[in-house]
Structure 1
Amino acid sequence: MRNVSGRHFPVVIIGGGQAGLAMSYQLKQREIDHIVLEKNSIAHSWKTQRWDAFCLVTPNWQCQLPGYAYPGSDPKGFMLRDDIVAYVESYAKQIGAPVREGVRVTRLAADPAGGYQLDSSDGEFTADSVVLAVSGYHIPNVPRISEKLSPAIVQVHSSAYRNPGQLPEGEVLVVGSGQSGCQIAEDLHLSGRKVHLAVGSAPRCPRVYRGRDAVEWLDDLGQYDLPVEQHSLKEKVRKNANHYLTGRDGGRDIDLRRFAAEGMRLYGRLHDVENGALKFADDLTTNLDNADRVYNGICKLIDDHIARNAIDAPKQTHYAPVWKPEAPVHTLDPTAAGITSIIWTTGFRSDWSWIDLPLFDGSGYPTHKRGVTTVDDVYVLGLPWLHTWGSGRFVGVGRDAGFVADAIEKRQAVRFNAATIAASEQVAKSA
């Protein structure tokens, strides 16, 4: 493979977040030369796409990037946004990751000379192998129905929300009840703002149950190590919303019913806007009941584990609703209701348009098995449920990176052996 003025590398990692850094660590352990190209800066999304009061929902002890376990003094606490940034930045320094910041890759394609060609804001690179460590959250997703709303209503995507003070006075509608939606709704609620919440189908999880954080119980049960192939939903689990709970103020449940009892207005899923009026589905009761069913299902899973292993743990009853919806609201005039701003916590869309390689399925998702794609020498890392529930988290990305690094090392050995045989044959012909 060619090497033009230091622009060729055995491995190029695209993305300098925790996945790309974990990949760099694993390659360094195997003495495989590589470079990490990061279009912004290390920990960029943690710095710029999280609100002021943001914190992890998983305990600090789960921050287990390879070669760099959580270094702080509060393993059962929950790191705040700036602490997370510091953790990732210090990891990059600790491992000496060869990161080039401010380099955006604009095209990845096969190189006619072999391997791959990468066009970037810093010119062209070539590589034998490429690791796509860019997550799947690329473009803020705001539904087109937002275009039907009055221009007087301020609209903000969750990635741009910082604190209640950035919004105009008045009531706030939060659309979406995944982790971000519920935590932002809580942030506004605790500040004294009047909040309306369009509730979707995301499940919820207990924070503490029978004397321990639920994450500790689930870790003991091997839930974070369960391969996608063994999950009841198989690959469909990759599209599931994460359970909502919070690490705020030491960690607690998020109970939307309790919020409603305290004055938060809950609705079903927002499905349309007609003549400026918000249209909600008649599924609020179903969505709340299903979230509670998952919550109590996790409690039952823990109960069974405790009984099966004769563990001494305090008794605790399962969750019982503290509030139930009355007549559903199907239509709401936001202006008449005093709503002056809307926060869209509706996730992100993937953008793989810059990759000119046949590695995607019909939905645009990279086809892979544990990060090894269907295109030779191209890998993905850091996606939710890449291999296990822990794959998209600090706790599991290092193991996935190790698997991919092993695959790269094997491919390098194959190329080396092929080159050796070819060179021997050439010598024999010349003799």
Structure 2
Amino acid sequence: MTRQKTVVDTLVVGGGQAGIAMSEHLTRHDISHLVLEKNRIAEAWRSGRWDSLVANGPAWHDRFPGLTFSGQAPGDFVPKDQIADYLQAYARKFKVPLRTGVEVKSVVRNTGRAGFTVKTSDGMIEALRIVAATGPFQVPVIPRIAPVHAELYQIHSAHYFNPQQLPEGAVLVVGAGSSGVQIADELQRAGKTVYLSVGPHDRPPRAYRNRDFCWWLGVLGLWDATTSEPGKEHVTIAVSGARGGHTVDFRVLAKQGVTLVGMTHAFEQGVVTFRPDLAENIRRGDENYLSLLDAADAFIARNGLDLPEESAAREFLPLPACVSAPLSSLNLAEAGVSSIIWATGYATDYSWLKVNAFDQQGRPLHQRGVSSEPGVYFLGLPWLSRRGSSFIWGVWHDAGHIADHIATQRRYSEFQP
């Protein structure tokens, strides 16, 4: 049995970190609202991540301002299920008006009257405003070059959970951002032969001179950067909180036994070819790493801080043979490769949001989350307002800006001369 039509000022679609943060700020403004989540709170943390995943930032940093992690030291990297528990606890603490198990089917603007009509799996909703808080990790993307080969076990990183789910044989991991690197490392430690396809990436130090890199990005003002560097729009970040947190080092992975290869180019008749860009990708990653060390050293000197020297941070292992003489191709059968894991990112899906708020490529048109369609807002996207926007604490600040905008618009609409 479906509900009768619900009427609210603001409908928030998505019950993850973005939707929960949005609700807190709307409550602060005393704005009537409802949060809809088609699954459970923070479902992606529970079922869309591998079993051993932990946060890539420490507990003191990757959280909302109003609640700390229970049972975790400030420097701990919180396991994924505890992050989901934390978001549930936050929703309870701030009494988020949440309906779970309700999917939004369509949102259309009303004709001749204000607001939107929302069709859901549990009835109709009338709302003056819509906040799309579904985040960036909606549709796992596997490139079109993926081979059509019945004997190959192929999954996206969103559907990888542990080494035991893979068949016997070697594994090709495509993508060397945080997910690809950590999965390749875990598989190699579990005894798998692993090939890791490495594209362009940033490679920050996990910590330097007794401070985590999250702290360094904060004091250097890099979290507040409003746009990514030209040419780096699709560059991934290789960072890990696994095993207590460590700096991702591709030389170390190679010494450990992972075979590094360049970007995956094509598959043809059981042979995968790689671009001749591995050494350049490693070099640029090192360059990014060293630039942060330089900036940190300059900050310490400029402010007279007493932080320990760390000269070893600038010492690299020799380039491994797989980088100096990289593979240009690999016969999958001869190499015993039975599995491919595509750590190749996600696309957004706003097909339910039938409004004029997108460009020709389907990307949201907005300014700090305030869309080109009056009354529609986006929240939780990377670089929504700055570099930190897709992090738990960053989405909280973006939600505050959107809630302030909604409150201002309400005051205009309620004004009586």
What is the TM-score normalised by the length of structure 2? 0.94
Alignment of 1:28-427 (within 5 A): 28-112=27-111, 113-148=113-148, 150-228=149-227, 232-233=229-230, 239-317=233-311, 318-324=314-320, 325-417=323-415, 420=416
Specify the SS of the correspondent of 1:193.
coil
* Matches of 1:190 and 1:372, distance apart in 2: 45
* Matches of 1:377 and 1:31, distance apart in 2: 17
* Matches of 2:72 and 2:15, distance apart in 1: 26
* Matches of 1:134 and 1:294, distance apart in 2: 31
* Matches of 2:405 and 2:68, distance apart in 1: 24
CA-to-aligned-CA distance 1:70-122 (integer Å, 9 cap, x gap): 44441111001111111111111111111111111111110123211111111
The verdict on how the C-alpha distance between 1:64 and 1:124 changes in structure 2, with shifts beyond 3 A counting, is: same
Q: What displacement does 1:66 show?
A: 4.5
Is the 2:173–2:197 contact (alpha carbons within 8 Å) kept by the matching residues of 1? Answer: yes
Specify the SS of the correspondent of 2:350.
coil
Structure 2 match to 1:425: none
Specify the SS of the correspondent of 1:315.
coil
* Matches of 1:282 and 1:306, distance apart in 2: 39
* Matches of 2:330 and 2:406, distance apart in 1: 55
Unpaired runs of 5+ residues, structure 2, are: none
* Matches of 2:389 and 2:329, distance apart in 1: 40
Q: What displacement does 1:360 show?
A: 1.0
CA-to-aligned-CA distance 1:281-317 (integer Å, 9 cap, x gap): 1111011111111111111111111111111122223
* Matches of 2:32 and 2:385, distance apart in 1: 25
Is the 1:9–1:34 contact (alpha carbons within 8 Å) kept by the matching residues of 2? Answer: yes
CA-to-aligned-CA distance 1:137-156 (integer Å, 9 cap, x gap): 211111122233x3111111
The verdict on how the C-alpha distance between 1:232 and 1:281 changes in structure 2, with shifts beyond 3 A counting, is: closer
Is the 1:63–1:69 contact (alpha carbons within 8 Å) kept by the matching residues of 2? Answer: no
Is the 1:170–1:340 contact (alpha carbons within 8 Å) kept by the matching residues of 2? Answer: yes
* Matches of 1:257 and 1:363, distance apart in 2: 38
Tell me which structure has the larger Cα radius of gyration.
1
* Matches of 1:176 and 1:311, distance apart in 2: 38
* Matches of 1:70 and 1:300, distance apart in 2: 33
Is the 1:38–1:103 contact (alpha carbons within 8 Å) kept by the matching residues of 2? Answer: yes
Please identify, of 63-72 and 151-160, the stretch whose mean Cα deviation from structure 2 is larger: 63-72
* Matches of 1:69 and 1:44, distance apart in 2: 20
Is the 2:176–2:236 contact (alpha carbons within 8 Å) kept by the matching residues of 1? Answer: no
* Matches of 2:65 and 2:307, distance apart in 1: 32
What is the TM-score normalised by the length of structure 1? 0.91
Is the 2:46–2:80 contact (alpha carbons within 8 Å) kept by the matching residues of 1? Answer: yes
* Matches of 1:316 and 1:20, distance apart in 2: 41
Is the 1:168–1:340 contact (alpha carbons within 8 Å) kept by the matching residues of 2? Answer: yes
Specify the SS of the correspondent of 2:237.
coil
CA-to-aligned-CA distance 1:162-216 (integer Å, 9 cap, x gap): 1101101111110110110001011112212111111111211111211222222
CA-to-aligned-CA distance 1:22-77 (integer Å, 9 cap, x gap): 00000111111100011111010000111111001111111332422444441111
* Matches of 1:319 and 1:40, distance apart in 2: 47
Specify the SS of the correspondent of 1:271.
strand
* Matches of 2:144 and 2:225, distance apart in 1: 37
The verdict on how the C-alpha distance between 1:111 and 1:319 changes in structure 2, with shifts beyond 3 A counting, is: farther
Is the 2:56–2:241 contact (alpha carbons within 8 Å) kept by the matching residues of 1? Answer: yes
User: What count of residue pairs does the alignment treat as equivalent?
Assistant: 410
Question: Structure 1: which 4+ aligned runs deviate by more than 4 Å?
Answer: none
Is the 1:260–1:323 contact (alpha carbons within 8 Å) kept by the matching residues of 2? Answer: no
Specify the SS of the correspondent of 1:60.
coil
Is the 1:38–1:101 contact (alpha carbons within 8 Å) kept by the matching residues of 2? Answer: yes
Percentage identity across aligned positions?
38
Is the 1:172–1:342 contact (alpha carbons within 8 Å) kept by the matching residues of 2? Answer: yes
Is the 1:292–1:319 contact (alpha carbons within 8 Å) kept by the matching residues of 2? Answer: no
CA-to-aligned-CA distance 1:292-349 (integer Å, 9 cap, x gap): 1111111111111111111112222324243242322112111100111111101111
- Backbone CA RMSD of aligned residues: 1.7
* Matches of 1:170 and 1:147, distance apart in 2: 17
Q: What displacement does 1:356 show?
A: 1.3
* Matches of 1:298 and 1:319, distance apart in 2: 15
Task: Write the letter of the residue equivalent to 1:129.
Answer: R
Please identify, of 217-226 and 112-121, the stretch whose mean Cα deviation from structure 2 is larger: 217-226
Specify the SS of the correspondent of 1:92.
helix
* Matches of 1:36 and 1:245, distance apart in 2: 32
Alignment of 1:22-33 (within 5 A): 22-33=21-32
* Matches of 1:285 and 1:242, distance apart in 2: 17
Is the 1:370–1:387 contact (alpha carbons within 8 Å) kept by the matching residues of 2? Answer: yes
* Matches of 1:364 and 1:390, distance apart in 2: 23
Specify the SS of the correspondent of 1:36.
strand
Please identify, of 69-78 and 383-392, the stretch whose mean Cα deviation from structure 2 is larger: 69-78
